[in-house]
Amino acid sequence: MIHQQGSLMPSLLSDVFCQCQSGDTHLGVDPGGGHTEDPPSTAPRQPGAGDRHSEPGQSTHQCDTCGGPEQEHRLKVLFQVLDVNGDGGICVNDLTIGLKKLGVHRTEHELRKIVKAGDKDLDGQLDFEEFVHYLRDHEKKLRLVFKSLDKKNDGRIDSQEIMQSLRDLGVVISEEQSDQILRSMDKNGTMTIDWNEWRDYHLLHPADNIPEIILHWKHSTIFDVGESVLVPDEFTAEEKKTGMLWRHLVAGGGAGAVSRTCTAPLDRLKVLMQVHSSKSNSMRISGGFMQMIREGGVRSLWRGNGINVLKIAPESAIKFMAYEQIKRLMGSNQETLGIAERLVAGSLAGAFAQSSIYPMEVLKTRLALRKTGQYSGIVHCAKQIFQKEGAAAFYKGYVPNMLGIIPYAGIDLAVYETLKNYWLQRFATDSADPGVFVLLACGTTSCTCGQLSSYPLALVRTRMQAQATQQGGPQMTMSTLFRHIIKTEGPLGLYRGLAPNFMKVIPSVSISYVVYEYLKVQLGVQSK
């Protein structure tokens, strides 16, 4: 089958729509080859046997918006080609077969979107009038996309403009790959795309590539490894307008709660090893689990998980709202930001969210380290800390926590975008959807690299949060604690608890993805 612009569809669409260069003035063609201005008419009717042919000396070819017998005839030809069973309506099955005949390949989901967008009477198919209205409405949207890509405002898109537009969104492609994109749409061999070529190629495609990438490659919303410092995901304008983004966030929060609960024993073991393990007191994974069970039973493996789950909702909501506000303050009017802008905006939003809920982080550490009977619950723990140590205790370890945001978020974002771009360049042919295994592999790799880069800061933060629980222990500052660890344990001392931390990454990512996909269905999220 033919996949490129050389198929029958582009030439047929070019026949259907005249070559107007302005979206404001609609032109017809007079017999002498000049253009005559015609006023717009109402929606076209389905041609019948009583249609009259144009008289000599009158226009024989009019704009799609202007109507006219010849225009209606050409629309009817396209409609008849796609109406495979000849019942006067185009359904998804008709589009599948009809477009294949014309060498155009679309997924079933894309074809359903076309029918749904144009089906005004909700009968599951497009009659002639609905079909024409869909084409014209979609053409308006395509013109907006074309204008956004046409950086030079010269009515043409060249290779550099495609590269720049994608680079602004963090999608880096080579000049050769940009040329391949051009060749797929370029009919006249100029290696530039004018409006007509762009329209003909995309008219029966329900979405353009950039929003599709945003939809399929969400990261921080889906994957939860117990840390909430990732740069927030971008959402399309449609998702924001319809409120789907909040359903995404709710689904992500639910997935995070399940994921954290399932991996809580490994998370508590990590905290214990960060605080208590040393050269003289080596703690292994099996020994650490046995110690926890002997001290407090099997239920003690989940100490600190309650507050860890409770903080998901406020932190996610605050971070997303702060991210959107920071984007506005940065003066960006784009649907998405470039990588550098995303890192700055995401890091600031993460710092604001962490500052807002940081007392919950301290409570999580204290509850994870508590002995049986020490605290009766979250509220009792908070009261004890406030009464014995004062309000300042709720911000112990705050500085290393803030410093750890940039390397964690930056490395995670850079690795994820690199893997994403590699896959899009090498393997994305018909869709930007990477599939579950590619998405999980990219998410796992980027999260692991991000955690590894900031782990020493995370360990120092945890030890500072736990300082008051160690009777008679010295109260060290961040720099003093760093020097003390290096001096007494060596550089490897900064990576205590790394093994259980990495052990929980793959199950955390996998569980959060599965639960996220399930909750999306339950919440009616339409992201594909």
Q: What is the mean pLDDT of residues 263-273?
A: 94
Q: What is the mean pLDDT of residues 209-224?
A: 53
Asked if pLDDT for residue 65 goes beyond 60, the answer is: no
- pLDDT at 336 (0 to 100): 52
- pLDDT at 331 (0 to 100): 65
Asked if pLDDT for residue 297 goes beyond 90, the answer is: yes
Q: What is the mean pLDDT of residues 406-416?
A: 83
Task: Output DSSP code: residue 491.
Answer: G
- pLDDT at 258 (0 to 100): 92
Q: What is the mean pLDDT of residues 264-293?
A: 89
Q: How confident is the model at residue 299 (pLDDT cuts 50, 70, 90)?
A: very high
Q: What is the mean pLDDT of residues 225-254?
A: 69
Which of 3-17, 87-101, 362-376, 498-512 has the highest average model confidence (pLDDT)?
362-376
More confident residue, 32 or 174: 174
What are the DSSP E strand ranges found in 361-436?
A: none
Q: How confident is the model at residue 495 (pLDDT cuts 50, 70, 90)?
A: very high
- pLDDT at 11 (0 to 100): 46
Structure tokens at 88: 């006067």
At 35, phi and psi to the nearest 5? -110, 135
Question: 97 Cβ partners below 8 Å, 6+ apart?
Answer: 84
More confident residue, 240 or 162: 162
- pLDDT at 347 (0 to 100): 84
| HSE value, Cβ hemisphere, 13 Å, CA-based, for 43 | 11
List own/partner pairs for 35-40 with CB under 8 A and 24 or more apart.
38/62, 38/63, 38/66, 39/66, 40/65, 40/66
| 3-state SS class at 276 | helix
Asked if pLDDT for residue 479 goes beyond 60, the answer is: yes
pTM above 0.85, yes or no: no
Which of 9-18, 124-133, 230-239, 260-269 has the highest average model confidence (pLDDT)?
260-269
- pLDDT at 293 (0 to 100): 94
| 3-state SS class at 92 | helix
The Cα–Cα gap between 441 and 498 comes to: 20
- When the pLDDT of each residue in the chain is averaged and rounded to a whole number, the result is 75
- pLDDT at 195 (0 to 100): 80
Element (H, E) at 29: strand 27-29
Asked if pLDDT for residue 333 goes beyond 60, the answer is: no
Vertex 262, ends 399 and 464: CA angle to 5°?
20
Instruction: Give the helix ranges, DSSP H, for 34-83.
Output: 69-82
- pLDDT at 170 (0 to 100): 53
Q: What is the mean pLDDT of residues 24-50?
A: 34
Percent of the chain clearing pLDDT 70 (strictly above) = 69
Structure tokens at 304: 């600190």
Q: How confident is the model at residue 380 (pLDDT cuts 50, 70, 90)?
A: very high
Strands 35-37 and 193-194: unpaired
Asked if pLDDT for residue 163 goes beyond 50, the answer is: yes
Structure tokens at 183: 């060749």
Whether 44 and 75 have beta carbons less than 8 Å apart is answered as yes
Residue type (1 letter), 85: N
Least confident of 58-62, 326-330, 489-493: 58-62
